[in-house]
Structure 1
């Protein structure tokens, strides 16, 4: 066997292709030809070098990722507990009105007083339940803020007019302090909950001086990430074959 034929067969063997001659013939030639043995060894070494590469060095990002993890939820329980206490106080106020405690609305009597008492009782109970739910589920705070903010704004204007005309007592005005406290705590709970929802690893969570590789998903523009996918339209001229 000539060396050219043997080396062609060895090259096919390394590539996993059929050899042009029987393998036994090539093996017998290798036992007698030092040049072909050296060629075969070098070819195998080159093959391994091209197919098996060492893993690239990866920087240790443990500290960076740990710094971007939101703070434990336990650190935000103080405000939520305070909101729950205000909610319980608001529910207590509605229960007191329900069982006949004076509402502080002078100058009214009869069925009208009873109906207004029921309205305020229901409203105070609704506020208390809403605040309690926001304390348990902070995501619900954002839905209550517009309603409660509007109520406090209108209530402040009407209460000012009632104070000027003497149509409201100091005790009645003091009961509105729970609503004001609940509104303030709603803002705090919502803000802290939103701040704790940041997703680590996104471009928005990077600190000054940090960067993200251009090939990562964090570097993609927000418009590209949130762009709606277009639905493919079916061909209008398509007909089922007979």
Structure 2
């Protein structure tokens, strides 16, 4: 829940004003804000309904897997400031979503092994 709220707090000003996304044109900044708000919505949805975690992983996992190397390369080349890159640490929420999905999977497996289904 905290990761989703923090992501939304970072996304909202960029989405509404188009400012804050480095020197990007307003439309591109707003697209970035919309994307980040979508990330926030995914984190909040999983916090509200943990059974959704496995379904959110393709979206969150692919984004995190692509963003990490791009950000590291851009940091090394000086294309992005460290304070901007730190905002991407919220994608650590993807690890939290993975753990929620994994725990739910294990509960279902244990329930099936015991001869009964455990609600997700």
The two structures share one fold, judged by TM-score above 0.5: yes
| Greater RCO (Cα-Cα under 8 Å, separation 6 or more) | 2
Equivalent in 52, 64, 67 of residue 155 of structure 1: 67
Runs of at least 5 residues in structure 2 that lack an aligned partner in the other structure: 116-120
Pair 1:85 & 2:2 matched: yes
What is the RMSD of the two structures over their aligned residues, measured on CA atoms? 1.9
Structure with more of its chain in helix, by fraction: 2
| TM alignment of 1:16-55, pairs within 5 A | none
Work out which of the two has the higher radius of gyration on C-alpha atoms and give 1 or 2: 1
Match for residue 102 of structure 1? 20
Pair 1:192 & 2:103 matched: yes
| TM alignment of 1:159-238, pairs within 5 A | 159-179=71-91, 181-198=92-109, 200=111, 204-205=113-114
Q: Deviations over 1:151-209 (max 9, x none)?
A: 11111121122112211011110000111x21011011112222333565x5x23xxxx
Cα 1:166–1:195 shift into 2, 3 Å: same
| Alignment TM-score, normalising by the size of structure 2 | 0.82
Cα 1:195–1:158 shift into 2, 3 Å: same
Equivalent in 40, 45, 53 of residue 133 of structure 1: 45
How far apart, CA to CA, are the structure 1 residues paired with 2:43 and 2:78?
31
Runs of at least 5 residues in structure 1 that lack an aligned partner in the other structure: 1-83, 206-217, 219-242
Number of positions where the alignment pairs a residue of Structure 1 with one of Structure 2: 114
